[in-house]
Amino acid sequence: MEREQNQQHTSRIVFLALSVALGLALSYVEALIPISLGVPGAKPGLPNIVTVTLLYALGPAEAALVSIMRIVLSGFMFGNLFAILYSMAGFICSFLTMLALKKSGRFGMTGVSTAGGVMHNVGQLAVAALLTDGSVFAYLPVLVIAGTLAGIVVGVAGAIISRRITVLIRRFRL
């Protein structure tokens, strides 16, 4: 019995480590995509596929842990301290919103992800406003549209992946 518990624990750690690695790989791919909407910080949010999938497949603690690790590691690998600060602020706003909407039971994964995409941009703008004169909120309309579109794509991808990995999670009792 103890050996089986150790194997489950090890499998869970390996799965979460692979999730961090996948999030990092998606962060790198996203950094390579040349997107210019005339607004700084507009990105497709590919690493958030991992976050929303884990939120539904395993739970909030695992999704938060993997996301925080990914943000810190990708910030040091592909960005700087400001990138970590902006990403962390976006994550906190986005994650708390997604968690509340998921718990309400009134929204599907795509709706939850869409709200998360918008709130991620709001969180980043809030940090930018603290560091500047506050005029960055002029970017809000474009970022709401970008966050909505990105959230829809992330939510649809997360739903597809979540259905498929649920079988693995049950099989390995993660």
- Whole-number pLDDT of residue 34: 77
Q: pLDDT grade, residue 20 (50/70/90)?
A: very high
Q: How far apart are CA 66 and CA 68, in angstroms?
A: 6
- Whole-number pLDDT of residue 167: 83
- pLDDT above 70 (res 38): no
- Tokens linked to 50: 């991992």
Question: What are the extents of the domains in the chain?
Answer: 2-172
Q: What average pLDDT does the segment 166-171 reach?
A: 81
Q: How far apart are CA 61 and CA 99, in angstroms?
A: 11
Per-residue pLDDT tens digits for 56-75: 999 999 999 999 999 999 99
- Whole-number pLDDT of residue 44: 86
Rounded to two decimals, the pTM is 0.91
- Whole-number pLDDT of residue 60: 97
- Give the chain's mean pLDDT: 91
CATH 1.20.140.150 fits 2-172, yes or no: no
